[in-house]
Amino acid sequence: MKALVALVGRPNVGKSTLFNRLTRSRDALVADQPGVTRDRQYGLAYCGEQSFFVVDTGGIMEQESEIGSLMRGQAQLAIEEADVIFFLVDAREGLSSLDEEIAEWLRCTEKPLKLVINKAEGRDEDLVASEFYCLGLGEPAIISARQGQGVEVLLQALLTLLPVAGREESEIQAKGLQLAVIGRPNVGKSTLVNRILGEERVLSSEIPGTTRDSISIPFRHHGRDYTLVDTAGIRRRSRILDRVEKFSVIQSLQSIAIAQVVILVIDAHDSVVEQDLHLAGVILESGKGVVIAVNKWDGLPLEQRQRVKKDLDRRLPFLVFARIHFISALHGSGVGDLFPSIDEAYQSANSQLPTGELNRALLAAVEKHPPPIVKGRRIKLRYAHQGGQNPPKIIIHGNQAEAVSANYRRYLINYFRSVFGLMGTPIALEFRTVK
Ligand code: GDP
Ligand code: GDP
Note the pLDDT tens digit of each residue in 404-424. 888 899 899 999 999 999 999
Top mutation candidate among 184, 186, 273 for ligand 2, by most atoms within 8 Å of CB: 186
> Has 211 been labeled as part of a binding site?
no
User: How many angstroms is it from 147 CA to the middle of ligand 1?
Assistant: 10
Top mutation candidate among 17, 40, 62 for ligand 1, by most atoms within 8 Å of CB: 17
Element (H, E) at 41: none
Q: Are 58 and 71 in contact (CB under 8 A)?
A: no
Write the pLDDT tens digit of every residue in 106-136: 888 888 999 999 999 999 999 999 999 999 8
DSSP label of 372: P
> Has 189 been labeled as part of a binding site?
yes
Cα(first)–Cα(last) distance of the chain, in Å? 42
Write the pLDDT tens digit of every residue in 60-112: 554 444 444 544 556 677 788 889 999 999 999 999 998 998 888 888 888 89
- Nearest in space to 206 (alpha carbons), one of 230, 224, 189: 230
Write the pLDDT tens digit of every residue in 380-389: 899 999 999 9
Q: Are 131 and 119 in contact (CB under 8 A)?
A: no
> Has 51 been labeled as part of a binding site?
no
- Nearest in space to 396 (alpha carbons), one of 348, 363, 350: 363
Cα distance between residue 74 and residue 252, in whole Å: 13
- Please report, as a single letter, which amino acid is at residue 175: K
Nearest CA to ligand 2 atom 22: 296
State the pLDDT at residue 142.
Answer: 97
Q: Which residues have a Cβ under 8 Å from the Cβ of 82 and sit 6 or more positions away? A: 4, 5, 6, 55, 111
User: How many angstroms is it from 145 CA to the middle of ligand 1?
Assistant: 7
Cα distance between residue 285 and residue 92, in whole Å: 33
User: How many angstroms is it from 204 CA to the middle of ligand 2?
Assistant: 26
* Closest-approaching ligand to the CA atom of 239: 2
Pocket of ligand 1 (CB under 6 A): 9, 11-17, 58, 118-119, 121, 144-146
Query: Quick one: which atom of ligand 1 is closest to the CA of 147?
Result: 23
Q: Within its chain, how far is the Cα of 147 from the centroid?
A: 25
Cα distance between residue 51 and residue 39, in whole Å: 18
Confidence band, pLDDT 50/70/90 cuts, at residue 274: confident
Cα distance between residue 41 and residue 379, in whole Å: 36
Cβ–ligand 2 distance for 295 under 6 Å, the answer yes
Does position 243 have pLDDT exceeding 70, yes or no?
no
User: How many angstroms is it from 6 CA to the middle of ligand 1?
Assistant: 17
Partners of residue 50 on adjacent β-strands: 47
> Has 58 been labeled as part of a binding site?
yes
Q: Which residues of 267-276 are buried (b: 16+ CB within 10 A; e: fewer)?
A: bbebbbeeeb
DSSP label of 93: T
Q: Does 112 sit behind a cis peptide bond, omega within 30 degrees of 0 on the bond before it? A: no
- Please report, as a single letter, which amino acid is at residue 339: F
User: How many of the other CB atoms lie within 10 Å of CB of 421?
Assistant: 10
Query: Quick one: which atom of ligand 2 is closest to the CA of 183?
Result: 3
- pTM of the predicted model as reported, rounded to 2 decimal places: 0.77
> Has 414 been labeled as part of a binding site?
no
Any idea which of 149-163, 196-210, 224-238, 326-340 has the lowest mean pLDDT? 196-210
The values of phi and psi at residue 198, to 5°, are -70, -30
